[in-house]
C-alpha cells in the first residue's frame, strides 16, 4: 500500500480558514482526513505541506511512527516550529484516520479502547474579545452574567470566558477590579455547580498575570488559562505556585520537549496541547504519557474545525488524564453541513459518546466546502491605552 497524493482543501469559517488535509492511497476509496488550521498563516501551512509531501509519496501509510519521524527529522530543520508542526499534525491525523479505516475501527480502539463512557464538552461564552476596559461600559459585568446564563440554558455545564482585559506590563487596580466584577457576575448568574474558565490569551505580564490570578482565586475557577507569555515556563510556574486555582497552558507549544520543560518546573495543572499544531495525535499521545508522570490533566486546545474536534475526542476516549473537550458551537451556522461524524452528542449536559465509525469518524463534504473558499483573515490588532502594541 502506498500514499499517492496529499491534498489541502481550504474552507473559510469567518475568523479562520480551516485547512483540511486529505491523504490518498493507491487502494481505491481509501484516504484519510486531517486538519492543519493555523489562523493568519494559511498559505504558509499549505506550502509547508507541499514541501513535506515528497517525503511521503510512495511510502506505506500504515507506518505512522516511521513517517512521523521522517516528517519531523528530515531536511535538516526539525518540525518544532508552528508552521511545520501544524503541517506535520495535519498529515499525522490523516494517517491515523487511514489506519482506523483499514482496520474498520475507531482510532481510540487502536490505542487500547475507551477509558471512559463519555467526554464532557465546554463552550466559549461568545463574543471573542470582550470590550476593552480602557473604555469600560458600566454594563460589561452584567453582559458576562447574561452570556453565562445563556450557555448554561443551552445545556453546557462548563464554559470559557475572557474577562481579563489587556494591560500594560504594570497597571493599577482598575483592570483587576474590572475582571473581578465580570467573574463575580458570571458566578452569581450560574451558581457553584457550573464550571467557569478564564482565558487570559497570554496578554498579561507575569506580574499582572499573578495579580489577576490572585484576585480571581476566590471565585473557584475550573482553570485559569495562559496567565502570561507561554514560552516562559518559570513565570507560569510562579503563578501556579502562588494560587490554588489550576493553571492551564500549552496551546502554543510544539512538541514533547516544550511540554517536558513546562512540566519539569511545575508550570501548570492542565496541559492544553493543540493536536493540529503540537505534532498531531502521535505527539499528543506522547505528551499525554509524559503528563501522566506528573499527574497533570489534559484539555487540548480545539477552537478549529470539525476534524480537529474529532481528533480531540478520539484522544479523549483513550487518554485517562483527559478532562474536557473544547467545543466551538457558534462560529459558522453551516458547520454541520460540511461534515458527518460518528459521535453522538447529548445536548442535555453537553456530553459526547464514543465515535462508532472507523478512524476519526469524520467525512467532509467537499462540495459544501467549495461554497466557502479561502478568504484573507481580517487583521487583528491590539493596543495599550497609550497606543503601544499589545498582544492579540
The smaller minimum CB distance to Mg ion, of residues 35 and 199, is found at 199
Residue with cell 474536557: 324
Are 352 and 344 in contact by the 8 Å Cβ rule? The answer is yes
Q: Select which of 78, 201, 329, 372 is catalytic.
A: 201
The smaller minimum CB distance to Mg ion, of residues 49 and 164, is found at 164
Residue with cell 489506519: 99
Are 27 and 4 in contact by the 8 Å Cβ rule? The answer is no
> Closest separation between CB of residue 302 and Mg ion, Å?
10
Nearest by Cα to 201 from 72, 348, 301, 74:
301
Residue 377 is given by DSSP the state P
Q: Select which of 277, 301, 329, 372 is catalytic.
A: 301
Q: Is 201 a catalytic residue?
A: yes
Distances (CA, A) of 58 to 4, 24, 45, 94: 6, 11, 22, 16
Distances (CA, A) of 366 to 8, 83, 208, 376: 11, 24, 46, 20
Are 61 and 67 in contact by the 8 Å Cβ rule? The answer is yes
Grid cell locating 275: 493536536
Grid cell locating 150: 445563556
For 297, phi then psi, to 5°, come to -80, 165
Contacts of 105 (CB under 8 A, 6+ apart): 358
The smaller minimum CB distance to Mg ion, of residues 132 and 199, is found at 199
> Closest separation between CB of residue 293 and Mg ion, Å?
24
The smaller minimum CB distance to Mg ion, of residues 48 and 253, is found at 253
Grid cell locating 282: 502521535
Distance, in Å, from the CA atom of 265 to the CA atom of 248, rounded to the nearest integer, reads: 14
Chain positions contacting Mg ion, by CB under 5 A: 199
Residue with cell 473537550: 325
Q: Is 41 a catalytic residue?
A: no
CA dihedral of residues 229, 233, 239, 241 (deg, nearest 10)? 170
Contacts of 392 (CB under 8 A, 6+ apart): 201, 380, 381, 382
Sort strands 119-124 and 158-161 into parallel, antiparallel or unpaired: parallel
Catalytic residues: 201, 301
Amino acid at each position: 500500500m502506498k500514499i499517492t497524493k496529499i491534498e489541502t482543501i481550504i474552507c473559510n469559517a469567518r475568523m479562520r480558514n480551516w485547512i483540511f488535509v486529505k491523504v490518498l492511497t493507491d487502494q481505491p476509496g481509501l484516504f484519510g482526513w486531517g486538519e492543519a488550521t493555523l489562523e493568519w498563516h494559511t498559505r504558509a501551512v499549505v506550502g509547508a505541506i507541499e514541501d513535506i509531501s515528497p517525503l511521503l509519496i510512495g511510502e506505506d501509510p500504515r507506518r505512522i511512527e516511521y513517517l512521523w519521524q521522517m516528517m519531523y527529522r528530515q531536511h535538516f530543520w526539525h518540525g518544532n516550529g508552528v508552521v511545520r508542526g501544524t503541517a506535520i499534525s495535519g498529515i499525522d491525523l490523516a494517517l491515523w484516520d487511514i489506519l482506523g479505516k483499514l482496520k474498520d475501527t475507531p482510532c481510540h480502539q487502536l490505542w487500547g479502547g475507551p477509558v471512559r463512557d463519555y467526554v464532557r464538552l465546554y463552550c466559549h461564552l461568545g463574543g471573542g474579545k470582550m470590550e476593552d476596559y480602557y473604555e469600560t461600559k458600566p454594563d460589561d459585568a452584567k453582559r458576562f452574567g447574561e452570556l453565562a446564563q445563556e450557555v448554561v440554558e443551552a445545556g453546557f455545564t462548563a464554559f470559557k470566558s475572557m474577562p481579563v482585559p489587556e494591560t500594560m506590563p504594570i497597571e493599577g487596580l482598575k483592570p483587576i477590579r474590572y475582571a473581578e466584577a465580570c467573574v463575580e457576575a458570571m458566578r452569581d448568574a450560574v451558581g457553584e455547580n457550573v464550571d467557569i474558565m478564564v482565558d487570559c490569551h497570554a496578554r498579561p505580564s507575569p506580574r499582572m498575570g499573578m495579580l489577576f490570578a490572585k484576585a480571581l482565586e476566590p471565585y473557584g475557577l475550573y482553570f485559569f488559562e495562559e496567565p502570561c507569555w507561554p514560552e516562559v515556563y518559570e513565570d507560569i510556574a510562579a503563578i501556579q505556585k502562588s494560587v490554588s486555582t489550576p493553571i492551564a497552558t500549552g496551546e502554543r507549544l510544539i512538541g514533547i520537549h516544550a511540554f517536558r520543560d513546562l512540566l519539569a518546573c511545575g508550570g501548570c495543572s492542565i496541559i492544553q496541547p493543540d493536536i493540529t499544531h503540537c505534532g498531531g495525535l502521535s505527539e499528543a499521545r506522547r505528551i499525554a504519557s509524559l503528563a501522566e508522570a506528573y499527574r497533570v490533566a489534559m484539555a487540548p486546545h480545539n477552537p478549529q474545525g470539525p476534524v480537529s474536534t474529532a481528533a480531540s475526542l478520539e484522544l479523549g476516549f483513550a487518554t485517562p488524564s483527559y478532562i474536557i473537550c473544547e467545543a466551538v458551537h457558534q462560529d459558522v451556522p453551516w458547520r454541520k453541513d460540511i461534515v458527518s461524524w460518528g459521535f453522538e452528542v447529548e445536548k442535555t449536559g453537553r456530553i459526547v459518546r464514543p465515535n462508532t465509525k472507523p478512524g476519526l469518524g469524520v467525512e467532509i463534504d467537499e462540495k459544501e466546502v467549495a461554497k466557502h473558499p479561502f478568504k484573507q483573515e481580517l487583521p487583528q490588532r491590539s493596543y495599550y491605552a497609550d497606543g503601544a502594541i499589545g498582544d492579540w
